[in-house]
Homo-oligomer: A and B are copies of this chain.
Amino acid sequence: MLGYGELLAFERMAADARFAPDLHRRAVLSEMAALEITNYRRLADRLSSLGADPEAAMTPYVEPLRAYHDRTQPRDWLEALTKAYVGDSVADDFFREVAAFLGEPDRELVLEVLHDSRYGEFAAKEIRSAIELDPKLANRLSMWARRLIGEGLSQAQRVAADRPALAMLLVTGSGDQQGVQALLKRLTQAHGARMSAAGLNN
């Protein structure tokens, strides 16, 4: 799921770079994208070394991830950046939590491929500056971020329903239903903190 997510994030971010207002910003989003493909390769190689066919292993996630991206196509630079910042970060937090339930070397591998925070800081700064120049943007981008989270959750539920083993990993890893609640609370809090850091409101 993480592997196919990286591949798709690569393609979408590479395409979204066209919205950048200048060459520097276009290159930064392209670099964020390029990082994903390196991660894809590491995950695909690990799947192969476990004797799995990466393509077959990723197939169940093709449709939900495609649906998420199709329903959250940015219309401009700030929406593209907010998507990379808000959407990818929630996903990263989720994968980081799940990684804790894995044995080595998978735990380490997942943690390593999760996003480099330096791009998150770039995105937060860009969004914040844009809102300072035009405070009305805060509202539009906050709504957009809520839509990203809503679509993300909806696809996540679909994955959980289709892949009980993944849902079980979450429950057994967290200990119990309360553990899952605590995990979701941590995700929500981190998301809220990121929204504030970028000048957005929940």
Contact = CB atoms under 8 A, between A and B. Distances in A.
Q: How large is the interface on A (under 10, 10 to 19, 20 to 34, 35 or more residues)?
A: 20 to 34
A27 B37 contact: yes
A44 B54 CA distance: 35
B33 A37 contact: yes
Interface in A1-26: 4, 7, 10-11, 14-15, 17-18, 22-24, 26
B44 A40 contact: no
A44 B27 contact: yes
Given A11-B30, A23-B58, A30-B37, 19 more contacts: A4-B23, A10-B34, A11-B15, A11-B17, A11-B18, A14-B15, A14-B33, A15-B15, A22-B55, A23-B54, A23-B55, A24-B54, A24-B55, A27-B41, A27-B44, A31-B37, A31-B41, A33-B34, A34-B34
9 contacts: A7-B27, A14-B33, A23-B54, A24-B55, A27-B40, A30-B40, A31-B41, A33-B37, A34-B37
A39 to B, nearest CB: 10
A38 interface: yes
Nearest to A40: B27
A78 B183 CA distance: 46
A7 B23 contact: yes
A41 B55 CA distance: 31
